Amino acid sequence: MNVFALEEPTKVKVTDVEVLSSKDRKPTDNPGAALNFSMVVGNDMLTMFDGFLKSALYMAVANKGDAPVKQNKVQDTLVPEVSNQQISSDMPKLTTIGMKLGEFAWDLELIGCKLNIEYGTNGPSGIQADGCKVYRFRIFGQEGGSVIIKYRVEFSDVDSATHGKLAMLKNCEAVITLTPPVVADDGPMENPLPFEADGSKTGEKILTAGEAFAKAHETADAQG
């Protein structure tokens, strides 16, 4: 199963910071927060979304004599702080699909993730949040093998001190890890209904074709 995760510290740009507060929030309850991230990574990360996405957007280096591909300069304007990373790829050239799609949304929502943010110039400082919702993914393939990935992370119960730290991150770089929730493997689910997969009642003997034919005649004779 493909799961989006940032297990290793990854450089991102925090493009927006919002305070989340429901209409029925009590004055004593802490509001939540939402962070919008944008990052430039190698296109190998596309396999976290779908095993075929990388090959749909990229291909190997063009053969000699192929028409030159127009360079995409959007990367420099979207995330200038992190666009200078050295990224190598075995499939650096955008396919026709990749060029025509441009930036597109990816339908994915993760619940229960753990976010860790490191930032600061005078030694790293950290912000941790559990039970995060990660969604609103957008993907933008770049010529050369890099890809811009944008997404939104929401979490609740943020105190005033942490909100202040988060506000200072807007339009700045940070290093984050994002861990998906752990799904326990409890084995196969029990059948809650009194029927087997073939439609028979639980515990009922499965008859062969001959036995079923004979039983049908017995029933008919008894009723006749």
Beta bridge partners of 72: none
Per-residue model confidence as pLDDT tens digits over 120-175: 655 556 899 999 999 999 999 999 999 999 999 999 999 999 999 999 999 999 99
pLDDT of residue 215: 57
CA neighbor of 162 nearest in space, from 136, 122, 123, 130:
130
Under DSSP, is residue 43 helix (H, G, I), strand (E, B) or coil?
A: helix
pLDDT of residue 20: 93
Is this prediction's pTM over 0.85?
Answer: no
- Angle at alpha carbon of residue 98, lines to 51 and 35, rounded to 5°: 75
The count of other CB atoms within 10 Å of the CB of residue 196 is: 13
pLDDT of residue 126: 87
**CA separation for the pair 31, 167 (Å, rounded):** 14
**CA separation for the pair 97, 107 (Å, rounded):** 18
H or E element that contains 3: none
pLDDT of residue 63: 57
- 10 Å CB burial of residue 183 (0-12, 13-18, 19+) is exposed
- Residue 79 · residue 104 · CB < 8 Å: no
> How many percent of the chain have pLDDT more than 70?
67
pLDDT of residue 221: 54
Per-residue model confidence as pLDDT tens digits over 72-85: 443 333 333 344 45
> Residue for token digits 């190598």?
88
